[in-house]
Amino acid sequence: MRKKGKKVIQMSNTNPYNMNNVQFTPEGQLKELNVQFSHKAQLGRPVNPNSARQKRLATAPGRKTGRPVNPSSVRQQRLAELEAKRIANGGTLKRGRPVNATSERQLRLADLAARRAAGTLKRGRPVGSGKKVNTAKKAVKPVIVVVGAE
């Protein structure tokens, strides 16, 4: 048997270590510890600014977490080569297949761009091409079939 009425959920508001009961204002509490706050970083559970980890991160702001970078790895060498190419080309790096300016498609695209700039490009479907017959306006003559007439 179940009792009728509202279901009561009891929360332990007296326990300060329960993360459900702690209200954080990260802007104020993290500012005291010199930790930068971002609204993008609020996914997941809230940050406790009084934790040992946050205090450790606040004392060493230049320290990065995660796996250290191996500068002699193949990937890092490839990234260094790409960066050198980017600097040599004035900040841009061409990627992918180069465009052939004399190809049929590029000539057609250039012609379309020139006509669009001149204002002579017709837009949309051509008038009267592939026009469907409008059957709604035609009057349909009724056909009367008389069975057994002489």
Query: How far is Cα of residue 61 from the mean position of the Cα atoms in its chain?
Result: 30
Q: In angstroms, rounded to a whole number, what is the distance separating the alpha carbons of residues 81 and 132?
A: 60
Decide: 38 and 13 in contact? Cβ < 8 Å: no
Residue partners of 3: CB distance under 8 A and separation at least 6: none
Note the pLDDT tens digit of each residue in 15-26: 666 666 556 565
Q: Return the structure tokens found at 101.
A: 């300016």
Q: Return the structure tokens found at 105.
A: 């498609």
Q: In angstroms, rounded to a whole number, what is the distance separating the alpha carbons of residues 146 and 127?
A: 46
DSSP string, 20-60: TT----HHHHHHHTT----GGG--SSPP-TTSHHHHHHHH-
Note the pLDDT tens digit of each residue in 113-144: 999 999 988 888 777 666 565 555 566 677 78
What is the model's pTM? Answer: 0.32
Domain boundaries, the chain: 26-59
Positions in the chain whose pLDDT score sits under 70 = 1-31, 33-43, 61, 63-65, 128-140, 149-150
